[in-house]
Structure 1
Amino acid sequence: MKSVKYIVYILFFIFLFNLSGCRTFYDLAVNIGMQLSKPDKIKNKIKEPVKDGVKLSALWVGHCTVLVQIEDKVILFDPFFTNNAAEIQRRVQEPGLDLNDLKKLDIIFVSHAHFDHLSIGSLKILEEKFPGTKLVFPEGVEEFLPKINFKLKKLKQPDYKNNVYVGETSVIDSMKITSVAAFHWGGRYGLDGLIWDYKGYAGFIIQYKDITVYFSGDTSYDEKFFKYLGNKYSIDIAFIPIGPCIDCYETGKPGRHLFPGGVFSVLDDTKTKVLVPIHFGTLYEKSEPFEPIRVLKELMEKQPQYSDRIKILEIGEQVIFK
């Protein structure tokens, strides 16, 4: 039965991803070939990811999963701890955090419902360890959520097509949380969101005490929007995707993803103090997993004035900013 299940998934994804332009046959073949292999191990994982006396820290778990501590609050973005996304996509490296070492978690954020961001298996693991934790997501994601023991908070999605960049602001556990525009698409399976224009994708601004964190979710570049953020918020740290990319030297593909070539514009527009690139190094998607960061490093050598404001993390690495 399991082999039949995989055959059905394979046929479905060949059809789906090639129609939607989200994957290539090469990516599919690589991922199928990786199913019997184990992800590479991450050495020297952080054993105490939550620390006393920390004002702001970030631990990159891999892909778009980031653990952030803001003083006494601990938040987790787009948790992906399973070996596969959508059954077919096999992770290259294991998660950079052992959940047994995580003793506290206040809020989980899910930016949209695509398989590599809304990982049901990962939420189930977190549910067992942190039942009743708050789960924050943009409207539309609830259609793809199972029954789960979290306190759900749905935020309005911004109407960015009419230049409305803020959806809704809510105070949750003393943190001021705002849904902001993401230039991507919704749905669960790729093609469904493109055809039916589903809701369910956004970024988040988190403000607590005197710290402001921006998590973009998947997004492409939009000058007006990023300048709006730069004028409205004083962003201390921004987590920005740089993949998957076809031509990684370009700014990105409108309505899909930001590429490494667009990172400097995001820095200029948002005026963020530190930008942490994410969405690379974990899955085969259009390019080799580490091609986006290789290109970004090459571009940074040509524009060294940005080097102090871009913090590149290894999977499993934690940096304490304050």
Structure 2
Amino acid sequence: MTQTIDVPRWPDSFKDRLTAPLPEFRELLSVTWHGAFRPDIGDADQIPVLRNGGLPRAATGETMVTWVGHSTFVLQINGMTILTDPVWSRRIPGVRQRLTPPGVAWSDLPRIDAVVISHNHYDHLDAPTMRKLPRDTPILVPARLKPWFGRRGFTRVTELDWWGSTSVGDVTFDFVPAHHWSRRTVWDTCKTLWGGWVIDGSVYFAGDTGYGDRLAQIGERFGGLDLALMPVGAYEPHWFMKAAHVNPEEAVRGCLDVGAPRMATMHWGTFVLSGEPLLAPIESARAAWRAQGLPREGLWDLAIGESRSFLS
């Protein structure tokens, strides 16, 4: 793995990258007290899950994505198999256990050629899942997150600042800005960076982001993107969540901003993180896509475990 930029010293904090103040404790307490993060989960059996066993393999010249659940995809591109924010655990700290099983069994995965991490929140960086990986797996992470992996024995970790680039084999990885934040404990707020990834100049993985001008900046820098993997869930109450999470309408606008003709939905149907009804993210995403007059085939509203591909 060849790192093409080298930043020898990171700042102690990335709070200057925030585009909105973080919620104050009294705001969080108010939202929690009124039950905004405890929606009815009676519709969980209607979340589409497709598990046919195994993992389809991309043909030569084909890029394939398989939605495992939440923000986890298996991405097959240019002969490589890449994981985004891998979470196979049944439970993560602070929320109910997952509503739906992973769409691909861990035992059905081939050797993983690279893993990209968007930020250190528990629903995106899962220690039990990471422990399943060989320690020589190439791991690509935001600035100042490399030590977390080093303590766990990973030997091929590259950390990047926004707009930094690296490569693994013949595939390039560009780390791009997002409207979000980071925290793993009460002592490390914004001590590590957050962002999204542009993979092989073709696939944009947003991670977590609110809506804002950083999406258009990505579109300006990376013309010709083929697919945007966009979060559509965890947005209610909107006044509280909007600085960090797009709602479905904003996700569609974000897809247009980055210039991708296809959008795959994610960040819904797995963990209960907010107050909207369980099926609202996908229903609203479909409505927002129609409202923009976009071709139906461009919206990849995948079932958990479903794969879809395009010619590279």
TM-score category of the 2 structures, normalised to the smaller one? 0.7 to 0.9
Give 1:86 shift. Answer: 1.1
Give the 3-state SS of the residue equivalent to 1:89 in structure 2. coil
**Alpha-carbon displacement from aligned partner over 1:88-119 (angstroms, at most 9, x marks no partner):** 43100010001111122100111111000000
Give 1:277 shift. Answer: 1.5
Is the contact made by 2:65 and 2:309 (CA closer than 8 Å) also made in structure 1? yes
Q: Do residues 141 (structure 1) and 131 (structure 2) align? A: no
Moved more, 261-270 or 70-79: 261-270
Q: Report the counterpart of residue 227 of structure 1 in structure 2.
A: 216
Q: Report the counterpart of residue 47 of structure 1 in structure 2.
A: 54
Give 1:309 shift. Answer: 2.4
Is the contact made by 2:51 and 2:103 (CA closer than 8 Å) also made in structure 1? no
**Alpha-carbon displacement from aligned partner over 1:193-236 (angstroms, at most 9, x marks no partner):** 6xx432321111111xxx6111111111113x222222221211
Is the contact made by 1:56 and 1:70 (CA closer than 8 Å) also made in structure 2? yes
Q: 1:118 aligns with which of 115, 125, 128?
A: 125
Give the 3-state SS of the residue equivalent to 1:227 in structure 2. helix
Give the 3-state SS of the residue equivalent to 2:207 in structure 1. coil
Q: 2:142 & 2:183 partners in 1: Cα distance?
A: 12
Q: 2:190 & 2:51 partners in 1: Cα distance?
A: 43
The code of the aligned residue for 2:111 comes to K
Structure with greater helix share of residues: 1
Q: 1:29 & 1:247 partners in 2: Cα distance?
A: 11
- RMSD of equivalent CA atoms: 3.1
Q: 2:64 aligns with which of 57, 60, 70?
A: 57
Is the contact made by 2:180 and 2:194 (CA closer than 8 Å) also made in structure 1? yes
Q: Do residues 202 (structure 1) and 210 (structure 2) align? A: no
Give the 3-state SS of the residue equivalent to 1:228 in structure 2. helix
Is the contact made by 1:49 and 1:102 (CA closer than 8 Å) also made in structure 2? no
Q: Do residues 298 (structure 1) and 265 (structure 2) align? A: no
Q: Do residues 170 (structure 1) and 166 (structure 2) align? A: yes
Is the contact made by 1:244 and 1:285 (CA closer than 8 Å) also made in structure 2? yes
Q: Which runs of 5+ in 2 are unaligned?
A: 1-22
How many equivalent pairs are there? 282
Q: Which has the higher contact order (CA 8 A, sep 6+)?
A: 2
Q: How does 1:253-268 map to 2 (within 5 A)?
A: 253-254=242-243, 256-268=244-256
**Alpha-carbon displacement from aligned partner over 1:272-308 (angstroms, at most 9, x marks no partner):** 1211111001111212333211221233343332533
Q: 1:247 & 1:293 partners in 2: Cα distance?
A: 17
Is the contact made by 2:50 and 2:304 (CA closer than 8 Å) also made in structure 1? no
Give the TM-score of the pair, scaled to structure 2.
0.79
**Alpha-carbon displacement from aligned partner over 1:110-142 (angstroms, at most 9, x marks no partner):** 1111000000011112x2xx4421111011323
Q: Which runs of 5+ in 1 are unaligned?
A: 1-15, 35-39, 159-165
Give the 3-state SS of the residue equivalent to 1:85 in structure 2. coil
Give the TM-score of the pair, scaled to structure 1.
0.77
Q: 1:146 & 1:304 partners in 2: Cα distance?
A: 47
Q: How does 1:81-96 map to 2 (within 5 A)?
A: 81-86=88-93, 88-96=95-103
Q: Do residues 279 (structure 1) and 267 (structure 2) align? A: yes
Identity %: 22
**Alpha-carbon displacement from aligned partner over 1:65-96 (angstroms, at most 9, x marks no partner):** 00100131110000000001116431000100
